[in-house]
């Protein structure tokens, strides 16, 4: 059973995956129902579900979720619109790379969360500020990774295109973009995942709506059940968006997986 | 006028990190007439691929020049199609789309592209695989498609850089016959680089033997075997004589090359 890389069948895989969740909730239940942890610090699973239901039905949590999703998508789409073309040019043309690369490499280590106070000064606490946090968090990572992927286009494919009469000005369009497209889609999927962590940070400070805002309010009320529920919601949404992204990629780039 | 003229072409690669520059190719002259099928035979490291890449325009000569129909080559172009040793089909395109790649570039109408693609799919025996992606094909099928892709573009000159080098012996023999069949119909000027002596004789009208380090043309041997060539020609006396002669030429070069390598390794 434990031979390296030995495949397992679908049922075993699903069973093992579910087993961990069961163990996790089991351990949580023992800790809370057994009285090992004070309910001030950690709510039990049933309380969590009850409070989550209340949040959704009574306190308009659905609106918070919608706000957060919109911020993530908005900031992320803006970042992608800037980063993908810039990354393409950086990957394809060495002078463009030489121009942007040092700054982008530096900027991607700037923590997006540290910009929150500054962005509040610049843009207030409205939507612009939230979008900017996501944008800053995603744009440099995206540009750099797209550039690396495009620069890694197989040289022999480019040469083959040359011998088929493609002029240098059209190599990017006819070879580099289609060849890097599946990679770029994967990069987008990955960085979208990170965007979720930035949005919560942005909402923790100076916000009047969103999942992050709800978490801060729940903390003031010591409603740990609500906090855990919110965190789980974020996880589930992340999982769904990841799943959708993967499905679309598989459909668009069948040639890579066929 | 010769279809292709290589005039005093040499190539020196600059040294890495202040090392001594490497002379890959000594000044070389070569002429190819229309319908010539020239095989360039030599041990590895003799600069035969470098010479081919310079003719293709993918590499620049340090000295000398290449003329196609009297016009100097300044870069790659659709008039010189190339088939590479590595599998270079565009993985995101199907067999049919790969074959049509150059035709799309030159703006040929869709109806004409379909017609050309259908013709070449038939010739390389891949009917039924038009909509397969390269990943789904064997190595031999991929190289056949690569040949079709180069020919569909109707180049003046076809350049092949050890195209069957990665294939097993049986597939390789079939591919040689297929290539000959296509060449007899299309009558292109062909430069075919290989290190396989039998292959060089079987497909070529003329074998150019290159020597190693520095690479230069050592001798040219015409192959007077009648076309169409059937695989049985490989067992004929004339074929054996040529093979014995070329084996001797190449053996000396391979020995010299390994001497040089041993000397360099010891230094």
Q: Write out the DSSP string of B104-151.
A: HHTT--HHHHHHHHHHHHHHTT-TT-TT--GGGS-HHHHHHHHHHHHH
E strand segments, chain B: 4-13, 22-32, 37-41, 63-68, 71-72, 80-83, 157-161, 189-194, 206-211, 216-222
Check A163 against B159: CB less than 8 A apart. yes
Structural domain includes residue B90:
no
Report the distance separating Cα B132 and Cα B142, nearest Å. 11
Which range, B2-16, B33-47, B97-111, has the best average confidence (pLDDT)? B97-111
Structural domain includes residue B145:
no
Name the pLDDT band for A106 (thresholds 50, 70, 90).
very high
Report the distance separating Cα A37 and Cα B218, nearest Å. 87
Q: Which residues make Cβ contacts (< 8 Å) with residue B62, sequence separation at least 6?
A: B10, B11, B12
Check A162 against B101: CB less than 8 A apart. no
Q: Which of A159, A162, A163 to mutate to test the interface with B (most CBs of B within 10 A)?
A: A163
| Contact list, A153 vs chain B (CB under 8 Å) | none
Structural domain includes residue B151:
no
Name the pLDDT band for B18 (thresholds 50, 70, 90).
confident
CB pairs under 8 A between A and B: 72
Is A166 near chain B, with CB under 8 Å? yes
> Which fold, A59-252?
MetI-like fold (1.10.3720)
Considering its fold, how many domains does chain B have in total?
1
The answer to whether B52 and A140 have CB atoms below 8 angstroms apart is: no
The per-residue pLDDT for B261 is 55
Classify B6 in phi/psi space as left (phi over 0), alpha (psi -120 to 50) or beta. Answer: beta
Q: Could you tell me the pTM of the whole model? A: 0.87
Percent of chain A clearing pLDDT 90 (strictly above)? 59
Check A164 against B93: CB less than 8 A apart. no
Structural domain includes residue B236:
yes
Structural domain includes residue B198:
yes
**Containing H/E element for A56?**
helix A45-57
pLDDT over 70 at B125, yes or no = yes
pLDDT over 80 at B265, yes or no = no
Check A255 against B76: CB less than 8 A apart. no
Report the distance separating Cα B235 and Cα B200, nearest Å. 15
Check B102 against A159: CB less than 8 A apart. no
Nearest to B86 among A156, A254, A256 (CB): A156
Domain of residue B30: give its range.
4-73+190-266
Structural domain includes residue B131:
no
> Treating both helix axes as pointing N-terminal to C-terminal, what angle do A177-204 and A211-220 enclose, rounded to 10 degrees?
30
Per DSSP, helices labelled H in A93-176 are 94-107, 116-123, 127-151, 155-163, 168-171
Q: What is the ipTM of this complex?
A: 0.90
Domain ranges of chain A: 59-252
CA within 13 Å, CB half, A125: 10
**Tokens found for residue B200:** 């060089």
**Containing H/E element for B201?**
helix B197-203
The SS3 call for residue B26 is: strand
Q: Is the dihedral of CA A176, B154, B227, B48 positive or negative?
A: negative
CATH number of the domain encompassing residue B36: 3.40.50.300
Q: What pairing do the DSSP bridges indicate for beta strands B189-194 and B37-41?
A: parallel
């Amino acid at each position: 059973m434990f031979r390296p890389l030995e495949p397992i069948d679908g049922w075993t895989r699903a069973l093992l995956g579910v087993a961990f969740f069961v163990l996790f909730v089991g351990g949580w239940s023992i800790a809370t129902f057994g009285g090992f942890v004070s309910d001030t610090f950690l709510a039990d699973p049933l309380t969590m579900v009850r409070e989550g239901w209340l949040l959704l039905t009574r306190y308009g949590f659905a609106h918070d979720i919608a706000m957060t999703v919109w911020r993530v998508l908005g900031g992320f789409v803006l970042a992608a619109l800037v980063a993908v073309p810039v990354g393409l040019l950086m990957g394809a043309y060495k002078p463009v790379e030489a121009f942007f690369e040092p700054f982008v490499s530096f900027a991607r280590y700037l923590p997006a969360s540290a910009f929150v106070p500054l962005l509040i000064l610049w843009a207030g606490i409205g939507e612009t500020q939230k979008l900017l946090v996501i944008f800053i968090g995603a744009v440099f990572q995206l540009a750099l990774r797209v550039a690396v992927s495009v620069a890694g286009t197989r040289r022999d494919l480019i040469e083959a295109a040359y011998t088929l009469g493609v002029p240098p000005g059209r190599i990017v369009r006819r070879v580099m973009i289609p060849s890097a497209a599946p990679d770029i889609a994967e990069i987008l999927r990955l960085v979208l995942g990170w965007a979720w962590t930035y949005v919560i940070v942005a909402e923790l400070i100076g916000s009047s709506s969103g999942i992050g805002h709800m978490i801060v309010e729940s903390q003031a009320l010591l409603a740990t059940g609500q906090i855990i529920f919110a965190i789980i919601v974020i996880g589930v949404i992340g999982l769904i968006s990841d799943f959708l992204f993967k499905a679309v990629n598989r459909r668009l780039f069948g040639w890579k997986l066929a | 006028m010769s279809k292709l003229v290589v005039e005093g072409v040499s190539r020196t690669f600059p040294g890495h990190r202040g090392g001594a520059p490497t002379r890959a190719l000594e000044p070389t002259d070569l002429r190819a007439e229309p319908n010539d099928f020239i095989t360039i035979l030599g041990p590895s490291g003799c600069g035969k691929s470098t010479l081919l890449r310079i003719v293709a325009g993918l590499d620049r000569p340090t000295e000398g020049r290449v003329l196609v129909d009297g016009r100097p080559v300044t870069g790659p172009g659709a008039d010189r199609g190339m088939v590479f040793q590595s599998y270079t089909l565009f993985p995101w395109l199907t067999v049919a789309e790969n074959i049509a790649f150059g035709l799309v570039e030159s703006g040929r109408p869709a109806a004409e592209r379909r017609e050309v693609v259908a013709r070449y799919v038939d010739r390389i025996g891949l009917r039924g695989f038009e909509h397969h992606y390269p990943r789904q094909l064997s190595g031999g099928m991929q190289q056949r498609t690569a040949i079709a892709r180069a020919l569909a573009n109707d180049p003046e000159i076809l350049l092949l850089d050890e195209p069957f080098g990665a294939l097993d012996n049986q597939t390789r023999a079939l591919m040689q016959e297929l290539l000959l069949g296509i060449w007899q119909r299309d009558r292109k000027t062909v430069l075919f680089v290989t290190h396989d002596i039998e292959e060089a004789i079987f497909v070529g009208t003329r074998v150019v033997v290159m020597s190693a380090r520095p690479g230069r043309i050592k001798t040219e041997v015409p192959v007077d075997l009648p076309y169409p060539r059937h695989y049985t020609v490989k067992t004929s006396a004339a074929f054996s004589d040529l093979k014995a002669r070329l084996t001797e030429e190449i053996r000396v070069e391979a020995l010299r090359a390994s001497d040089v390598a041993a000397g360099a390794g010891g230094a």
